[in-house]
Structure 1
């Protein structure tokens, strides 16, 4: 299940949807990302995110498919917001349910790491008097490469 949307999401409702995936589920791992006040610069007041419609969802589905090949995953849910976001707004949700915690943790971390470098999202940081597009971070590339 993949959703790229402008609207906020309810983490509790997403968790419950994963929890109802069946009696074989023994673990649920989730990650929620929020807008913070610093990134490339300090004093960030918000973000603006763009994506490549259609392609974004295909890339995310490919990441989920790869995670399913690597780990025993019963269900995966990825939500990523686009548009203008304020401080503390939720940006991303990754939820994985599996029979075992190790698979759930690993798949959740893998998908989140790969989202940062593979999915066609572009992020602009907004401050009180300027805005700039965020460049891909070397640390994100290193984290993604560690999964290869």
Structure 2
């Protein structure tokens, strides 16, 4: 493989996006199964959008498919918007009657700072950005 080809390979970036999605998935499972926290409805929707990204981006990394952005970006951008809305709810609302657990309730803070929706927002932002850069780099 030539040097020019290896520089433009999407594999390292897609691998990084896979790691982010896998850590987010494992983290959400630890919070619910390990710590016993009950996810609210918005958390469930974010999980529905994040979990498949582990497999989709992971396979794309193995097969060096930068075209996966067409599949990943709709999921990750929608997840990003949902996590941003959820984070906004926690800052501005005291209750939310969407489900059994209020979406406005802060159940956990990482380092006393980041709430669960903030962590989801960060993960979706990273996946979106990394996949967009991988797609852009291979098209140049």
Assess same fold via TM > 0.5: no
Q: What is the TM-score normalised by the length of structure 1?
A: 0.28
Which structure dedicates a bigger proportion of its chain to helix?
A: 2
The normalised TM-score by structure 2 is 0.29
State which structure, 1 or 2, has the greater radius of gyration over its C-alpha atoms: 2
